[in-house]
Amino acid sequence: MRVLLLNGPNLNMLGRREPEIYGRQTLSELESLCVEHGQGLGFDVLCRQSNYEGKLVEWIQGAGDKYNAIIINPGAYTHTSIAILDALLSVDLPTVEVHLSNIHRREDFRHNSYVSKAAWGVICGFGPQGYLMALDALFRRFSPTETMEA
Ligand code: DQA
């Protein structure tokens, strides 16, 4: 199983960026954690980050025939990007949307997610652990003994 892990704008600043909200772990530490956790589940996890909407769209478009699932934290594009929503709808891969913070406890403009309309599930508020929870959820989804794809 191959999983594409995408992080959007400003997530390259993790560790330095508003640590009281996003924690002190850097993006590369977070990505290593995900690759390692993925290995334990038998997943090949490829990590990518961009501050550009079009780049994220292109990675999603290219994922259709190469990956089995997508985990995405679209950062602020969550709340604005119909282009990312459309890209996810076009590839039709099981997608887990992850946010480090609980977007529903924060400013009103963070409460809406366009991306959620294409997501199999959404995890928010658990910090870096949310990414591992996303991998676990996909593992269960792909496990032949589980029936969680509804
Ligand atoms: C975020 C929440 C977004 O509202 C914000 O713009 C981010 C990070 C999160 O992980 O909590 O960049 O996606």
Closest alpha carbon to 130 in 59, 37, 20: 37
Ligand 1 proximity of 101 Cβ (cutoff 6 Å): yes
Read off the pLDDT of residues 8-61 as tens digits, 9 standing for 90 and up. 999 999 999 999 999 999 999 999 999 999 999 999 999 999 999 999 999 999
Contact (Cβ atoms closer than 8 angstroms) between residue 149 and residue 127: no
Containing H/E element for 69?
Answer: strand 69-73
The boundaries of the domain holding residue 8 are 1-75+128-143
pLDDT band at 145 (very low <50, low <70, confident <90, very high): confident
Number of folded domains in the chain? 1
Pocket test for ligand 1, best of 7, 50, 97, 103 (most atoms within 8 A of CB): 103
Q: Is residue 29 part of a domain?
A: yes
Q: Is residue 4 part of a domain?
A: yes
Instruction: State the closest ligand 1 atom to the C-alpha of 9, by its place in the atom list counted from 1.
Output: 12
Q: Is residue 137 part of a domain?
A: yes
Residue 34: exposed, middle, or buried by beta-carbon count in 10 A (0-12, 13-18, 19+)? buried
Half-sphere exposure for 83 (CA within 13 Å, toward CB): 11
CATH number for the domain harbouring residue 59: 3.40.50.9100
| DSSP SS3 for 29 | helix
Q: What is the pLDDT of residue 16?
A: 96
Read off the pLDDT of residues 95-116 as tens digits, 9 standing for 90 and up. 999 999 999 999 999 999 999 9
**Alpha carbons 3 and 19: distance in angstroms, whole number:** 27
Q: What is the pLDDT of residue 149?
A: 56
Residues in the chain, overall count: 150
